[in-house]
Amino acid sequence: MSDPANLAEDMRARILEEPGMILGDADVMRALISANERAMGGNIVDLRGVAMDRLEDRLSRLEDTHKSVIAAAYENLAGTNQIHRAILSFLEPLEFDDFIRCLSGDVADILRVGRIRLILESHESELDPSLANVSDVMSIAAPGFCEDYAGKGRPPRQVTLRGVGPGDGKLYGPSNEWVQSEAVIMLDFGEGRLPGMLALGSDDPHQFSVNQGTDLLSFMGGVFERAMRRWLG
């Protein structure tokens, strides 16, 4: 076996040659500081050790914050790309039927939602008081329906994100128990026209919640309004 004295001399020479090897290892530095405190005795306070502990805690918190900021930035970038892809998808069709089919196909897939519903209000007297389904995507509603649905008794915001309880997903069809959360986007089609609404239903209860930002969906709603005006005009 190696002589302990020779081993210690080898370690000493290596440390003197590469001190950064020790300084860069947090576990080794922590062990050395603890050994130094034990050597000084319990009645002596090592202010440098206390300061180092505090600096280490602050560095750890700073690293956690840094990671959180980077993760949020990547998430925002991914969300922006997702919305841009959805917008390009529904701007591409040249016929209204293709435009509607695109909502239930490409746009729903890009946004990762189970179903998209487009609600347009109309003064037609023969309409059902609630909804008259034109297709699996679009329905016609009586005036005031969109505001009532989005606001539930309160003035609606441009974008409303919320959970959907059992029996509250009737907007998405008879088989609606899968709907766990939704995004409701109010649509303004211009002066002299009744408003509309775009509803996105998801089976993920956390996809749309009240504590999330709505800027990207507001932007998408603004583009969607302008696209719809081509067909309404």
| Low-confidence winner among 55-64, 149-158, 160-169 (lowest mean pLDDT) | 55-64
CA distance 191 to 119: 18
In the block, which residue shows the tokens 């081993």? 7
Q: What is the DSSP letter of 95?
A: S
Assigned token pair, 48: 């440098």
**Length of the chain (residues):** 233
Among the listed residues 214, 197, 103, the one whose alpha carbon sits nearest the alpha carbon of residue 146: 197
76 vs 40, more confident: 76
Q: For position 66, what pLDDT does the model report?
A: 74
Residue type at 141 in one-letter notation: A
174-219 tens-digit pLDDT: 888 899 999 999 999 988 889 999 999 999 999 999 888 889 999 9
For the chain, give the longest Cα–Cα distance.
102
Is residue 83 within 8 A of residue 216, CB to CB? The reply is yes
What's the CATH fold of domain 68-232?
Beta-Lactamase (3.30.450)
Query: Would you kindly state where each structural domain of the chain is located, as residue ranges?
Result: 4-44, 68-232
In sequence order, the β-bridge partners of residue 139 are 119, 133
Q: For position 11, what pLDDT does the model report?
A: 77
| Low-confidence winner among 39-53, 81-95, 202-216 (lowest mean pLDDT) | 39-53
Q: For position 112, what pLDDT does the model report?
A: 92
Q: For position 78, what pLDDT does the model report?
A: 77
Q: For position 29, what pLDDT does the model report?
A: 72
CA distance 229 to 233: 6
Q: How far is CA 171 from CA 87, 143, 216, in A?
A: 23, 16, 23
CA distance 77 to 174: 36
